Amino acid sequence: MGTPHGVLGTWVVILLLHWCGLGEASHQVFTELQSVSPAVVDTKLRTGYHFQPPKHWINDPNGPLYYKGIYHLFYQYNPKGAVWGNIVWAHSISKDLINWIPLEPAIYPTKPFDINGCWSGSATILQDGTPIILYTGIDPKEHQVQNIAFPKNLSDPYLQEWVKPDYNPIIAPTVRLNASAFRDPTTAWLGLDKHWRVLVGSKWNKRGKAILYRSRDFKNWTMVKHPFHSAVNTGMWECPDFYPVAEKGKIGLDTSMHGRGMKHVLKVSLDLTRFEYYTIGTYDHTTDRYLPDATAMDNSSGLRYDYGNFYASKTFYDPEKKRRILWGWANESDSVDADKAKGWAGIQAIPRTIWLDPSGRQLLQWPIEELRTLRGKQVHIRDKIVKSGDYFEVKGIQTAQADVKVEFDVSSLNLEKVEPFDYAFSNDAQALCKIKGADVKGRVGPFGLWVLASSNMQEKTAVFFRIFKAGEKHVVLMCQDTTRSSLSPDLYKPTFAGFVDLDIKKTGKISLRSLIDHSVVESFGEKGKTCITSRVYPSLAIGSDAHLFVFNNGEENIRVSKLKSWEMKRPSMNEA
């Protein structure tokens, strides 16, 4: 969920704490920040259809799984306040990933091996169908150790009770490892030799690394001598994730799948940058090494799931619909005092189906199909020209809680005369967008949406594209600009951005989908090639006072070939 920029309030605290754990000095609890929840929870800017408990702090999604017809989501949760602390594994269940029912916490500190904390982890389904949770515990020495938990009753599809065996920890840091940088085990996978494998995130000095362990019985684990993969100057690798993807089609693959016609993905959450990065590559089952493709940048300039407020993500294989689903956490961007006053902090982004782009160079992401069941009243616009410097409002629906899809047509424009691309920004779209913001006129662009806007547009969040010329090719920039999203001076209002891998001269079109939900905007450029999530806290554009506009601040006219927008209904969200 992070950003490289220091901010006030919650974000200052988060820079002191790790998203998936705490800083390396010690397991420090900030008791002065652990507020008792207010008698009344402020719902004014709560999301309507994003995952959220009724109150208090949440962070990392943990151990998502599907078991006997039920989807399970565990997540880091403070049952006592709207700030980080007292963390347990909260537990919610669903039949459709949209409507959620809360259960009692599955894991909380009770044993010596986790008495000082139950931090992030994953879930693995064994060959006999038994689900197992792997998680990081903090022991009395403040060491980060890896533990497992089993369901108490396998006949219970809700998995309401979990047992932590006394032979935990199953994996402890050796003298060669940094005991304060050793956490967040992945989903395990079964190798060709019938040994289980799991990765644990770590670092040595500034080299981030994923450490591989093997086990025959899921109880006794041995560390492989060589790191599974590592990279210099990347710092601590939090919340690693490793899984296969099919080279063709959208079908998801079980984590233990092996054979031809697949690639592998390694994702890490970088403590240094507060962003996530992934590579696509080849996994050698014999040597247990992972090698990123030559087209994959293996550092903090690489590919991201999301170029905005999105962190500590976790995927799981859904055997019911044969797909891989991605969960990610979006933190607040207002102050600690504001969070304590609201009585809540943090949401999970909409779960996304992910698959490999036909080019093989990146992943594609799209909101799960079940989200469409929440669509209500609809507005449909076709073939509308937006002249240079002009805009129009999308009327007829409430847009504080909406799903918007729009396609822009630039096929009639002379794209050879667009503004030149500055190669100094080749690996930093965010820096380019700060300079070339929504109000800076270009040749073709900026054009896009103003969402969560006040009627006079004193407040507005811009989601837009801009096209540049780079030699014989074109560069498409996608931005989400919140600098004018609120009148509040205390908010962190960043500009997020990413490039879109698209031959715009060939296609002549580019699409955008934005999920708007009171205090969050999730946008998907060109069918999920580039995704950006922002937390937005308007002062004026709240509820029925929120407006939606299409704008064009470029010199060339833009055609909206089609636009569809729906009001979104509110699901059952963790109501008792």
Answer whether 42's CB lies under 8 Å from 292's CB. Answer: no
Cis upstream peptide for 319 (omega within 30°): no
Side chain identity at 290, as an amino acid letter? Y
Question: Please, which residues have CB within 8 angstroms of residue 526's CB and are 6 or more apart in sequence?
Answer: 476, 500, 502, 510, 511, 512
Give the separation between CA 85 and CA 57, rounded to whole angstroms.
Answer: 8
Options 60, 298, 403, 481, the catalytic residue: 60
Give the separation between CA 314 and CA 200, rounded to whole angstroms.
Answer: 14
Instruction: Tell me phi and psi for residue 425, to 5 degrees.
Output: -100, 15
Question: Please, which residues have CB within 8 angstroms of residue 438's CB and are 6 or more apart in sequence?
Answer: 446, 448, 450, 462, 464, 479, 481, 551, 553
Instruction: Tell me phi and psi for residue 41, to 5 degrees.
Output: -85, 130
Reported as half-sphere exposure (CB side, CA atoms, 13 A), residue 501 has a value of: 15
Q: Residue 171's beta-bridge partner residues?
A: 146
Answer whether 213's CB lies under 8 Å from 124's CB. Answer: no
Give the separation between CA 446 and CA 141, rounded to whole angstroms.
Answer: 54
Largest CA distance in the chain: 69
Q: What is the DSSP string of 193-233?
A: TS-EEEEEEEEETTEEEEEEEEESSSSS-EE-SS-SEEETT
Number of H-type helices and E-type strands within the chain: 4, 36
DSSP assignment, residue 23?
Answer: -
| Annotation says 60 is catalytic | yes
Q: From residue 556, how far is each of 232, 409, 447, 480, 549 by CA, in Å?
A: 44, 12, 10, 21, 18
Give the separation between CA 123 and CA 243, rounded to whole angstroms.
Answer: 13
Give the separation between CA 176 and CA 243, rounded to whole angstroms.
Answer: 27
Q: From residue 207, how far is each of 57, 174, 203, 221, 235 by CA, in Å?
A: 31, 18, 5, 24, 5
Sheet holding 101-107, edge to edge: 101-107, 88-94, 70-78, 56-67, 344-345
State which H helix or E strand residue 355 sits in: strand 352-356
DSSP assignment, residue 416?
Answer: G
Instruction: Tell me phi and psi for residue 37, to 5 degrees.
Output: -60, 145
542, with CB counted inside 10 A (0-12, 13-18, 19+), is middle
- The residues that are catalytic are 60
